[in-house]
């Protein structure tokens, strides 16, 4: 039997019976809004026309709804939320109740939203390279949100990983614009399909937390359009988010939330974005930001004054530029509310479907774990008599990331370690429940499973010396608001691993980190597994992979550097400047060659390349056929499982030179699940923008003429097949 699945980014697959194929779901631009009836644009205009002068100011600013001193506007009836804008009952306009939600409905200053599903980090999601998993996780989050009375989710974080030390890397989807934009688009589409509005954030180039709200970013227009802006463009096309959240940083001069170029030109004019722009909390700096394209001031108490309150209202009807904008701002906000079904399908307070949420979290964690090294020790045999588990709070739970995205799962965290003196410590270290040591013991009933905190490396090594297997859990906590100063594991964990691997060669290292770390002990470890922040079912997922109940299939969405010297900025700008200062970061160093593209350009060998990940089986790629057609290239090839276990693979398609100019770019990938011996044929269609360059002069994408070299890889650095085809020079349609 032959079947064909059409997917996007352009995937055509045929497969034989017995071969399960994890294909990507297609999402056409405009799909979410197309379901909307009647016309949200017309309805929005009609509502704005009915507004009184006072009502014209109500939707344009919102506050942080929490019962403490910062909030100048305690409102009876407002749910605890990161953002709140009262509705206008006279016109039937609902309130906006907003929560952070990249990894689940967030912890709000001591008040857990309500039985939230704690998904793995977005970096773990990106490591699945799987659109269906992205969709399922975010659909579960949106249902939790509805059950908590929330109708807007501050989700869709898609800033590219330009800085491996960035404290928020765990909230984002890696370093490639196609991968990050595609997955972000699916998460947004899933949320909005549940009739909850989603954002995409933080627009744009907000790539480090150091000097977060003072930092200045410089980058050429072409480099920005080909990298970070492209990730947003793809996410917006696939997901149609109701709102775009502009970021804290300056962008080539003005603040991003006051950037006429970013908001009016790129977003609203070039991309014809129909929704509204909300500021990040504290990122609005002037009433005139409205003229630059900002539509809503968020978390207004974080700004020195409420710029979009009285000062903006005073200009309405007096200054034609502001009057026109205020009409447009209201229209855009209402349009997004209507298109996201906030009027006709309000959230109903209820009980979240914990079973569904946990199932989504488990699938994501299983598929996001990346096996980095395996000398054959994995999967673990169920014959070990003594398994020594060491470190990483593995007796308590699994690590999660701090800041506004922090989720407190059902029944609360397993452990909270404050990191500041504040009563409502938004940067506390939280461990999600589910102790890996228990999950391991449950899979190995024949073994004695011991636990040691790892606090004293020499002592831990002595205790673990004679164990049949040692599993060291190593954690790196990261948070919004802080970057890590270097890529070493903190708290002497490298010493611990070095000491233990020196006495016991059967040592497996399980990493729970926000992003890349250095591994000075790598050659001594028998196996290394990157589990990221694995969420509420993380302990089970780690045990699934350790014992082979799940065949690992995650692929790195970021490069792991061999040293900081390999990165574009070995010294993090502003790191040792402890006062807010206008530090400037020069992103033209790497330009659009973010991540693996930088390593390729410089001929550097990283510790682990982008796209890398091992399996308990092996795959072979054959029969590459390239076909150029119009503005794109179609790559068809066959994947065969040549090992002895069923497994899931993610072959990647890269262009490596265009018209004689070298340079590596991911142009697509496939997700396939194959039984031993089975093979399948896939076709990947390149997004033409990945084949093109942005011409600033012509303000269009431009395809260079000539030969295009294409490779089929198992990672950015592992080429399996090569081919070449030609394209005509042309400008892509606007
Ligand atoms: C973060 C945003 C978040 C907002 C509201 C800010 O600190 O940068 O991502 O949505 O807070 O919690």
More confident site: 443 or 107: 443
Output the DSSP codes for 542-596. HHHHHTTSS------SS-B-SSGGGSS-SSPTTTT--S----EEETTTTTT--TH
4 pLDDT band, cuts 50/70/90, is very low
pLDDT higher than threshold 60 for residue 18: no
Cα–Cα distance, 391 to 507 (Å, whole number): 13
If one compares 579 and 607, the residue with the highest pLDDT of the two is 607
Q: Provide the pLDDT confidence category of residue 114 given band limits of 50, 70 and 90.
A: low
| 31 pLDDT more than 50 | no
Ligand 1 centroid–CA 281 distance in Å is 6
Q: At what angle do helices 436-443 and 538-546 cross, to 10 degrees?
A: 40
Report the C-alpha gap between 42 and 334 in whole angstroms. 10
Q: What is the DSSP string of 108-131?
A: BTTB--SSB--PPPHHHHHHHT-H
pTM of the model: 0.94
Q: Is the pLDDT of residue 5 over 60?
A: no
Q: What is the pLDDT of residues 645-693, one digit of tens each?
A: 999 999 999 999 999 999 999 999 999 999 999 999 999 999 999 999 9
Atom of ligand 1 nearest to the CA of 202: 9
Of 98-102, 198-202, 284-288, 623-627, the poorest mean pLDDT is in 98-102
* Alpha-carbon distances of 595 from 79, 445, 489, 604, 692, rounded to whole Å: 41, 43, 21, 11, 19
What 3 state SS string does 583-623 have? CEEECCCCCCCCCHHHHHHHCCCCCECCCCCECCCCEEEEE
First-to-last alpha carbon distance for the chain, in angstroms, is: 41
Ligand 1 center to residue 82 CA distance, Å? Answer: 8
Q: What is the pLDDT of residue 25?
A: 29
Q: Mean pLDDT check: name the lowest of 99-108, 411-420, 444-453, 661-670.
A: 99-108
- Ligand 1 mean position, distance from CA 397 (Å): 26
How many other CB atoms are found less than 10 A from the CB of residue 271?
15
Where does residue 87 rank: exposed (0-12), middle (13-18), buried (19+ CB within 10 A)? middle
From ligand 1's centre to the CA of 117, what distance in Å?
19
Number of continuous H segments (helices) and E segments (strands) in the chain:
18, 33
Ligand 1, atom nearest to 248 Cα: 8
For the beta carbon of residue 669, count every other beta carbon within 10 angstroms. 26
Question: For position 199, what pLDDT does the model report?
Answer: 98
Q: Which two tokens stand for residue 387?
A: 């398994």
Question: What is the average per-residue pLDDT within 395-407?
Answer: 95
pLDDT band at 70 (very low <50, low <70, confident <90, very high): low
- Atom index in ligand 1 nearest the CA of residue 201 equals 9
Neighbours of 695 (CB within 10 A): 15
Residues 250/215, Cβ–Cβ less than 8 Å: yes
Query: DSSP H helical segments within 219-318, as ranges?
Result: 221-226, 228-239, 260, 289-292, 310-313
pLDDT at residue 387 is higher than 70: yes
389 backbone dihedrals φ, ψ, rounded to 5° = -100, 135
Residue 595 phi, psi (nearest 5): 65, -125
pLDDT value of residue 113: 58
Task: Using the predicted structure, report yes or no on whether residue 37 has a pLDDT greater than 60.
Answer: no
d(CA 483, CA 308): 31
For ligand 1, the distance from its centroid to the CA atom of residue 360, given in whole angstroms, is 24
162 falls in which pLDDT band (50, 70, 90)? very high
Cα–Cα distance for residue pair 679/691, rounded to 1 Å: 28
Phi, psi of 416 (to 5 degrees): -125, 125
Determine the average pLDDT of the residues in 156-170.
98
- Return the ligand 1 atom nearest residue 106 CA: 12
Q: Is the pLDDT of residue 110 over 60?
A: no
CA distance 238 to 243: 14
Q: For 248-285, how does the pLDDT look when each residue is reduced to its tens digit (9 = 90+)? A: 999 999 999 999 999 999 999 999 999 999 999 999 99
**Residue bearing the bigger pLDDT, 567 or 116:** 567
Place of tokens 């490639």: 176
Which residue has a Cα nearest atom 6 of ligand 1?
A: 281
Mean pLDDT of all residues belonging to the chain: 92
Bridge partners of 243, per DSSP, are: 199, 276
The 10s digit of each residue's pLDDT in 438-493 is 999 999 999 999 999 999 999 999 999 999 999 999 999 999 999 999 999 999 99
Ligand 1 atom nearest residue 157's Cα: 9
Question: For atom 2 of ligand 1, which residue has the closest CA?
Answer: 280
Q: In what order do the strands lie in the sheet with 81-85?
A: 63-65, 81-85, 96-100, 152-154, 197-203, 243-246, 276-279
Query: 128 C-alpha to center of ligand 1: Å?
Result: 25
Backbone angles phi, psi at 184, to 5 degrees: -60, -40
Half-sphere CA count of 273, side-chain side, radius 13 A: 33
The residue behind tokens 């917006």 is 236
Distance of CA 449 to the CA centre of its chain: 35
What would the mean pLDDT of 194-204 be, rounded to a whole number? Answer: 98
Burial of 558 (0-12, 13-18, 19+ CB in 10 A): buried
Helix residue ranges, H only, 380-435: none
DSSP 8-state code for residue 380: P
Pocket probe mutation, ligand 1, options 281, 282, 299, 300, max atoms within 8 Å of Cβ: 281
Cβ neighbour number for residue 44 with a 10 Å cutoff: 21
- Percentage of the chain modeled with pLDDT above 70: 92
What are the residues whose beta carbons fall under 8 Å from the beta carbon of 561, sequence distance 6 or more?
A: 164, 487, 516, 518, 567, 606, 607
| Contact present, 601 and 229 (Cβ < 8 Å) | no
181 compared with 213, residue with greater pLDDT: 181
* pLDDT of 178 higher than 50: yes
Residue 315 has pLDDT above 70, yes or no: yes
Sign of the dihedral through C-alpha 63, 64, 65, 71 = negative
100 C-alpha vs ligand 1 centroid, how far in Å? 7
For the ranges 152-156, 405-409, 542-546, 595-599, the lowest mean pLDDT is seen at: 405-409
Average pLDDT over residues 284-305: 96
For position 17, what pLDDT does the model report? 27
Q: Which residues line ligand 1 (CB under 6 A)?
A: 82, 100, 154, 201, 280-281, 404
Using the predicted structure, report yes or no on whether residue 302 has a pLDDT greater than 60: yes
**Percentage of residues of the chain with pLDDT beyond 90:** 83
- 700-730 pLDDT, tens per residue? 999 999 999 999 999 999 999 999 999 999 9
CA–CA distance, 127 with 310 (Å, rounded to integer): 46
pLDDT score of 350: 87
For 685, the 3-state DSSP assignment is: strand
Mean pLDDT of all residues in 507-524: 98
Residue 207: closest CA among 154, 262, 256, 249: 249
Sign of CA dihedral 396, 402, 405, 411: positive
pLDDT at 33 over 50: no
Residue 111 pLDDT = 58
Q: What's the pLDDT at 412?
A: 85
Q: What are phi and psi of 23, to 5 degrees?
A: -85, 160
Q: Please, which pLDDT band fits residue 581 given cuts at 50, 70 and 90?
A: confident
Q: Using CA atoms, how far apart are residues 314 and 216, in angstroms rounded to an integer?
A: 31
φ/ψ of 727, rounded to 5, equals: -135, 150
In Å, the largest CA–CA distance within the chain is 82
């Amino acid at each position: 039997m032959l079947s064909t699945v059409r997917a996007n980014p352009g995937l055509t697959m045929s497969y034989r019976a017995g071969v399960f194929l994890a294909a990507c779901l297609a999402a056409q631009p405009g799909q979410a809004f197309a379901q909307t009836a009647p016309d949200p644009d017309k309805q929005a205009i009609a509502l704005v026309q009915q507004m009184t002068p006072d009502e014209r100011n109500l939707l344009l600013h919102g506050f942080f709804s929490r019962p403490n001193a910062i909030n100048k506007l305690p409102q009876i009836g407002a749910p605890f939320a990161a953002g709140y804008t009262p509705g206008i009952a006279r016109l039937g306009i609902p309130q906006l109740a907003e929560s952070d939600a990249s990894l689940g409905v967030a912890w709000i200053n001591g008040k857990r939203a309500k039985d939230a599903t704690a998904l793995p980090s977005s970096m773990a999601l990106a490591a699945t390279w799987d659109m269906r998993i992205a969709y399922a996780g975010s659909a579960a989050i949106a249902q939790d949100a509805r059950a908590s009375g929330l109708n807007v989710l501050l989700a869709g974080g898609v800033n590219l990983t330009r800085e491996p030390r960035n404290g928020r890397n765990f909230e984002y989807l890696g370093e490639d614009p196609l991968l990050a934009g595609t997955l972000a688009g699916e998460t947004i589409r899933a949320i909005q399909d549940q009739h909850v509005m989603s954002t995409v954030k933080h627009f744009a180039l907000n790539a480090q937390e150091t000097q977060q709200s003072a930092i200045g970013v410089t980058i050429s227009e072409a480099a920005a359009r080909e990298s970070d802006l492209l990730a947003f463009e793809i996410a917006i096309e696939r997901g149609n988010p109701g709102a775009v959240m502009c970021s804290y940083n300056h962008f080539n001069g003005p603040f991003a939330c006051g950037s006429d170029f970013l908001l009016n030109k790129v977003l609203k004019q070039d991309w014809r974005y129909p929704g509204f722009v909300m500021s990040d909390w504290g990122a609005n700096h002037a009433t005139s930001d409205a003229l630059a394209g900002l539509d809503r001031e968020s978390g207004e108490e974080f700004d020195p004054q409420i710029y979009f309150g009285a000062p903006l209202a005073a200009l309405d009807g007096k200054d034609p530029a502001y009057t026109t904008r205020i009409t447009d701002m209201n229209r855009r906000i209402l349009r997004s509310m209507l298109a996201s079904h906030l009027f006709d399908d309000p959230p109903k307070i209820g009980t979240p479907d914990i079973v569904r949420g946990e199932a989504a979290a488990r699938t994501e964690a299983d598929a996001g774990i990346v096996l980095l090294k395996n000398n054959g020790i994995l999967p673990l045999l169920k014959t070990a008599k003594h398994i020594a588990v060491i470190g990483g709070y593995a007796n308590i739970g699994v690590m999660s990331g701090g800041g506004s995205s922090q989720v407190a799962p059902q029944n609360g965290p397993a452990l909270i370690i404050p990191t500041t003196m504040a009563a409502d410590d938004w940067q506390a270290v939280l461990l999600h429940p589910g102790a890996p040591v228990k999950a391991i013991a449950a899979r190995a009933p024949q073994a004695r499973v011991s636990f040691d905190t790892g606090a004293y490396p020499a002592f831990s090594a002595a205790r673990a010396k004679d164990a049949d297997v040692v599993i060291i859990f190593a954690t790196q906590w990261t948070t919004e608001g802080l970057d890590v100063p270097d890529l070493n594991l903190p708290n002497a964990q490298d010493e611990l691993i070095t000491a233990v691997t020196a006495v016991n060669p059967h040592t497996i290292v399980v990493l729970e980190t926000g992003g890349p770390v250095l591994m000075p002990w790598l050659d001594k470890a028998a196996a290394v597994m990157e589990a990221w922040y694995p969420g509420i079912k993380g302990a089970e997922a780690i045990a699934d992979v350790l014992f082979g109940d799940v065949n690992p299939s995650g692929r790195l969405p970021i490069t792991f550097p061999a040293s900081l010297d390999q990165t574009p900025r070995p010294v993090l700008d502003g790191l040792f400047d402890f006062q807010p200062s206008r530090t400037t970061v020069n992103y033209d160093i790497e330009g659009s060659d973010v991540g693996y593209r930088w390593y390729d350009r410089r001929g550097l060998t990283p510790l682990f390349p982008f796209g890398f990940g091992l399996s308990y089986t092996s795959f072979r790629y054959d029969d590459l056929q390239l076909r150029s057609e119009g503005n794109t290239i179609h790559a068809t090839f066959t994947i065969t499982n040549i090992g002895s276990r069923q497994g899931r693979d993610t072959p990647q398609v890269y262009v490596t030179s265009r018209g004689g100019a070298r340079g590596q770019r991911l142009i697509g990938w496939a997700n396939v699940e194959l039984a031993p011996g089975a093979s399948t044929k896939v076709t990947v269609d390149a997004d033409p923008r990945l084949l093109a360059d942005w011409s600033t002069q012509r303000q269009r994408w431009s395809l260079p003429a000539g030969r295009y070299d294409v490779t089929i890889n198992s990672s950015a650095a592992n080429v399996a097949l090569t081919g070449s085809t030609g394209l005509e020079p042309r400008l892509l349609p606007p």
